[in-house]
Each structure stands twice: as structure tokens, then as C-alpha cells.
């Protein structure tokens, strides 16, 4: 969303309190599927090399301290593997009925990961991958009988597409609800800044902030008319589906509504450009991508803090933004290297991996699906200062900050928690 012009009079208006996400009943969702459905394709036939590609990414998430103080559990979940990226945002209101709001999104993304690896790995059988809609449908069916409700954005990198006989990797994106995906690209060479070239749309019932389209499974206490066929209909008829040409060096930013309700598109691009500066060594280290995700989350939370003059920062949903769980994935599209015994290796990034009993690689140190989070307090732009950060003044983390983060990661691992780095 573009940044709207704002004046002092608008800035001094009182902040409107905003509630969390509400569960949307079956019939209300079904009545809106045709209007919310999107089927879009974006092709660009520019070939530098005909090569297979994969994702290399990092994630970060944090519950807003205000929401944490209310006793709400973080129900956001992220996924970052070579062939599938995802963000799922569990509906917190489900907790009022004694249901863990994080269980369904966790199981859903875990099954998306498994299916993606089975269907998209280089040695997969022809026809194994039938598109993102069948993948998400099967992943949902595998979550039975887990109860819950969640929004979802999922990106799948497909190396099987050919245009005019040439390999043309495509990224298929499916969205259900108000999580979003943004693609940034260096349009004028490696030394140019990253520019937004594509963004998905939010799907909200009648445009209300608290009622996004949802992927759910609930019992009669919540919705007497619900059955799994409702959600299958949501996936097949109401989802947003986008096909985008994928190019080496593209940066993919995915986030829950806590990201894109609080930050304008240009702000997200500015943050990523401040971390991944023009001329950054390729391929980008996953720790740098995770740091970019962290900076985005910090900036989202800073939108809910008044500046030195008492004026709340501007946000897409209004001044003061929204207090919410906030999850973000930042990934780079990189060349896929050699495939040995069915295992993937990113070109230029040799490293050792462990296999599970199915021979499927684990591409993150602690598992691909996790709540990548930091329980420590964050101090990023907390004074409500300018939304655009100077590229001269913001450098990579100083050595002492990196050491502090390393110590924090060790403490999290000691507690058995999952931390993406």
C-alpha cells in the first residue's frame, strides 16, 4: 500500500482501539468466496540462465508485549524450506473455547513442508506436484481431527515449468485471509536497490479488519453449521492464487497481518534495503535474512509507541497501528545446486545436513517449522522516529550485538526452544 499524505491535524487525532481477529462462521465465509477469489499470473520472459532455483530464508516472530500481558498465546507459525515458505496466523479468539490456537497452524505448515518436499524435490515423480491448492487441501485433511482456525500465505517454488522449451521457475502463491507476500527485485543490476514488483491482497469479509477469510476446523460450540467441506470450499473457491516468474536474487517477504497492517510497502522495502544493501555478497547468509525479518517485526511493534511529541506513527490501518502477534519470513531465491541421492544443496553454500527416516533434508538447524522468536524485550525505533531509515547510518549489527544475540540463542536452545538463525 502506498504511503498516504498526512498532516498535523490528522496526526493529532486520537488513536482508535483495535481488537484482535474474530472467528468467521461458515455461512458468512461461503457467501464471500466468489468476491474474494483471486487467480492471477505474472510472467516475465527475461533469461539470464536456465537454472533450477530454491529458497534460502530466515524467520522471526514476537508477540506484542501488550498482547502478551493479556495472557494470549503466540499463535503465529512460520515455515522456511528450499521449496516452500509459509506464514500461518492462528485466530486467538479460539482460545476462549479452550482450544490451543497455535496447534492447527503448526500442523498445517508441517504437512505443507512434508508434501512440498515429497512433490517438489528434484527426484520427485512426474505429476507428483499438482499445484498449491491441492497441496494445501491435502495438508489440511491431514490435520484432522485438530481444531482451530488460521489464516495462511504459502509460496511454492516450482522448477518444472517451461516456456518456449526453456526452464522457467515459477513461484506459486496461495493466500487465505490477511497474511501477505511481497516480492522485491533489483531491477537495475546487483548494485541497485530492491524494488517492490509484486504483492498479494488481503481477503477480509466485508473489509472488516477483524474478520479475515479463514481455514478452520471447529466443533458445535463455535459453529453448529461447520463441517470440513466448508474449509475445502474456502481453499478451492475462495483462496487467492498467484503465479509469478521467479528469478535468482529475488527477495520474498511474507508476514502476518501484524506486519502489513502496521508497515507500508515502501517501509518494508526500506528496512530490507538497509539490511541487504546493494552489492551484498551472494548468496546472502540465512542469518542476515533472519535479521531482516527481525528488523521488520521490531518496526511493526514500534508503530504502537508514541513519538517524542506524543504523536502516534502512521500505519496502513491508521495511526498507532495494531497490537498483534507479528511473524515474518524473509527469503532469497538462489540457485539450486547438485542433487545427490535426492538431497538438495544450495549452490555456493556447501554445508552438512542430517536426514530423517524418509531421507528428507532438514534445511534449518532446529526444524523448518517453528516459532522463531526472542522472548527478550526489543528496542527498535521505539521512539517513533522517521519511518525511513538512513542507509548511511544503519549498518549491520555491531560485534557486541551479534555476541549478545548468540548468547540469547544458546539460552533458547538450552530451554529446548526453536530459534531460526
Prediction pTM value: 0.73
8 A C-beta contact, residue 153 and residue 173? yes
Report how far Cα 407 is from the mean position of its chain's Cα atoms.
26
CB-based contacts of 291: which residues, under 8 Å, 6+ apart? 58, 275, 396, 397
In angstroms, the CA 279 to CA 273 distance is 11
pLDDT (tens place) for every residue of the chain, 421 residues total = 656 544 433 334 444 334 456 667 677 766 677 666 666 655 554 444 568 999 999 999 998 888 777 767 789 999 999 999 999 999 988 999 999 999 999 999 999 999 999 999 888 888 899 999 999 999 999 999 999 999 999 999 999 887 777 888 999 999 999 999 999 999 998 899 999 999 999 998 887 778 899 999 999 999 999 999 999 999 999 999 999 999 999 999 999 999 999 999 999 999 999 999 998 888 999 999 999 999 999 999 999 999 899 999 999 999 999 988 899 999 999 998 744 444 556 665 433 333 344 333 333 323 344 444 443 322 333 333 333 333 333 333 444 444 444 444 444 433 333 332 2
Omega before residue 283 within 30° of 0, cis: yes
- List the grid coordinates of 375: 522472548
Which helix (H) or strand (E) segment holds residue 344: the answer is strand 343-346
Shortest CA distance to 152 belongs to which of 77, 219, 89, 236?
89
Contacts of 38 by beta carbon, 8 Å cutoff, 6+ apart = 175, 200, 201, 203, 239, 240, 241, 242
Q: What angle do CA 412, 110, 271 make, to 5 degrees?
A: 60
DSSP of 270-302: HHHHHHS-TTPPSSPPHHHHHHHHHHHHHHHHH
Amino acid at each position: 500500500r502506498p504511503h498516504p499524505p498526512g498532516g498535523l491535524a490528522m496526526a493529532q487525532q486520537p488513536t482508535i482501539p483495535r481488537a484482535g481477529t474474530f472467528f468467521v462462521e461458515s455461512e458468512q465465509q461461503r457467501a464471500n468466496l466468489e468476491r474474494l477469489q483471486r487467480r492471477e499470473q505474472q510472467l516475465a520472459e527475461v533469461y539470464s540462465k536456465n537454472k533450477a532455483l530454491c529458497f534460502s530464508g530466515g524467520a522471526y516472530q514476537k508477540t506484542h508485549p501488550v498482547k502478551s500481558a493479556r495472557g494470549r498465546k503466540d499463535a503465529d507459525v512460520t515455515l522456511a524450506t528450499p521449496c516452500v515458505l509459509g506464514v500461518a496466523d492462528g485466530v486467538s479468539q479460539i482460545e476462549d473455547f479452550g482450544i490451543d490456537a497455535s496447534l492447527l497452524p503448526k500442523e498445517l505448515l508441517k504437512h505443507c513442508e512434508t508434501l512440498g518436499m515429497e512433490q517438489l524435490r528434484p527426484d520427485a515423480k512426474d505429476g507428483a506436484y499438482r499445484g498449491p491448492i491441492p497441496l494445501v487441501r491435502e495438508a489440511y485433511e491431514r490435520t484432522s481431527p485438530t481444531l482451530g482456525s488460521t489464516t495462511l500465505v504459502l509460496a511454492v517454488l516450482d522448477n518444472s515449468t517451461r516456456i518456449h522449451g526453456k526452464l522457467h521457475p515459477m513461484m506459486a502463491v496461495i493466500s487465505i485471509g490477511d497474511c501477505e507476500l511481497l516480492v522485491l527485485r533489483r531491477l537495475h543490476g546487483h548494485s541497485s536497490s530492491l524494488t517492490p514488483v509484486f504483492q498479494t491482497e488481503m481477503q477480509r469479509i466485508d473489509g472488516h479488519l477483524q474478520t479475515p477469510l479463514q481455514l478452520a476446523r471447529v466443533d458445535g460450540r463455535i459453529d453448529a453449521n461447520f463441517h470440513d467441506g466448508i474449509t475445502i470450499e474456502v481453499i478451492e473457491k475462495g483462496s487467492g492464487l498467484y503465479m509469478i516468474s521467479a528469478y535468482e536474487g529475488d527477495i520474498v517477504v511474507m508476514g502476518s497481518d501484524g506486519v502489513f497492517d502496521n508497515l507500508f510497502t515502501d517501509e518494508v522495502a526500506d528496512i530490507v534495503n538497509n539490511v541487504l544493501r546493494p552489492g551484498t555478497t551472494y548468496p546472502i547468509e540465512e542469518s542476515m535474512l533472519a535479521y531482516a525479518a527481525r528488523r521488520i517485526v521490531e518496526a511493526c511493534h514500534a508503530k504502537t509507541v508514541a513519538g517524542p511529541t506524543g504523536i502516534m506513527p502512521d500505519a496502513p490501518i491508521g495511526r498507532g497501528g495494531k497490537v498483534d502477534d507479528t511473524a515474518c519470513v524473509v527469503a532469497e531465491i538462489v540457485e539450486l545446486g547438485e542433487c545427490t541421492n535426492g538431497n538438495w544443496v544450495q549452490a555456493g553454500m556447501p554445508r552438512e545436513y542430517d536426514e530423517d527416516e524418509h531421507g528428507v533434508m532438514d534445511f534449518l538447524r532446529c526444524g523448518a517449522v517453528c516459532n522463531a522468536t526472542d522472548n527478550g524485550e526489543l528496542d527498535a525505533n521505539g521512539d517513533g522516529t522517521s519511518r525511513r531509515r538512513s542507509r548511511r547510518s544503519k549498518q549491520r549489527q555491531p560485534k557486541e550485538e551479534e555476541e549478545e544475540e548468540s548468547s540469547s540463542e544458546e539460552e533458547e536452545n538450552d530451554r529446548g526452544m526453536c530459534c531460526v538463525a
